[in-house]
């Protein structure tokens, strides 16, 4: 382990954006704690760079065990400067299957909240740090296709804003970055092709935003236009879409 390295944890590093960010952070000089539910995928990633990755498999929906799991991984890293929460779920749910909605909220609301609270509490005691979460452009409006997904992302965006307000009052060098992707070429995109961003491009833009301590960033940048337009659509028109 490089004793002078920066330390990061990436939750949801088994695939998609989380995996890409873990690789980019390691290349940028971080010791990276990689987490997720699938140990085999974590071990496969770790094998690519044994000196820079520390793996620990756990599930964010187990909110009782989560604080201990994060603490143990932080101890293994010998510190923590950055925590990236890239764990999330969402499925198209036209039948309003209650199982899909329940699991979406367990991951995107309960799990998200447990991770965010642990990270901010840890950084407040330490006096510095950076928490980033992958939310979504979907947070801006509701969706008839995936009600729980859009609603849970709106929860995340508002929760992060509340934490930013809390930290502003403390005047400590603790930062929060709200990363709002549109469609990125991962399994979560579910076949969408509109303004689809390559995973490597998305990862590089997110890493740049983290380095610049951005409060909110749209991935890719042009999705800010979509976010702006979504806010402008009147409710009587939006419900017909």
pLDDT tens digit sequence for 98-137: 999 999 999 999 999 999 999 999 999 999 999 999 999 9
Q: Could you tell me the CA-to-CA distances from 165 to 91, 120, 135, 152 in Å, in that order?
A: 31, 12, 18, 20
Give the Å distances, CA to CA, from 85 to 94, 110, 131, 168: 27, 13, 8, 21
Looking up tokens 């999330």, which residue turns up?
A: 88
Could you check whether the bond before residue 220 is cis, i.e. omega within 30 degrees of 0? yes
pLDDT-based confidence at residue 183 (cuts at 50, 70, 90): confident
Distance CA 241, CA 232 (A): 14
Quickly state the pLDDT bin for 185 (edges 50, 70, 90): low
Are the beta carbons of 138 and 84 closer than 8 angstroms? no
CA–CA gap between residue 129 and residue 118 (Å, rounded): 12
| 30-36 vs 174-181, strand pairing mode | unpaired
Give the sheet arrangement for strand 53-57, strand by strand.
Answer: 53-57, 30-36, 6-11, 82-85, 129-134, 174-181, 216-219
Going along the chain from its start, the domains and CATH numbers come out as: 6-238 (3.40.50.720)
Above 70 in pLDDT, residue 4? no
CA distance 100 to 95: 10
């Amino acid at each position: 382990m490089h004793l002078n390295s920066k330390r990061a944890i990436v939750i949801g590093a088994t695939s998609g954006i989380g995996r890409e960010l873990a690789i980019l952070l390691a290349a940028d000089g971080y010791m990276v704690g990689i987490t997720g539910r699938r140990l085999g995928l974590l071990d496969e990633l770790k094998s690519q760079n044994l000196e820079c990755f520390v793996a620990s498999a756990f599930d964010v929906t187990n909110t009782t065990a989560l604080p201990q799991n994060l603490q143990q991984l932080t101890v293994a890293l010998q510190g923590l400067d950055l925590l990236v929460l890239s764990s999330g779920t969402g499925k198209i749910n036209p039948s309003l299957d209650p199982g899909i909605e329940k699991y979406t909220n367990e991951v995107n609301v309960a799990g998200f909240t447990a991770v965010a609270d642990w990270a901010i509490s840890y950084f407040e005691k330490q006096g510095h740090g950076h928490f980033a979460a992958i939310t979504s452009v979907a947070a801006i409006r509701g969706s008839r296709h995936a009600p729980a997904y859009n609603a849970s992302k709106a929860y995340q965006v508002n929760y992060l804003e509340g934490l930013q307000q809390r930290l502003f009052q403390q005047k400590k060098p603790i930062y929060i970055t709200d990363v709002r992707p549109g469609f990125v070429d991962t399994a979560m995109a579910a076949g969408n092709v509109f303004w689809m961003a390559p995973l490597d491009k998305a990862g590089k833009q997110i890493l740049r935003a983290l380095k610049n301590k951005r409060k909110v960033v749209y991935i890719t940048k042009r999705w800010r236009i979509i976010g702006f337009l979504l806010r402008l659509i009147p409710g009587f028109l939006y419900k017909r879409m």
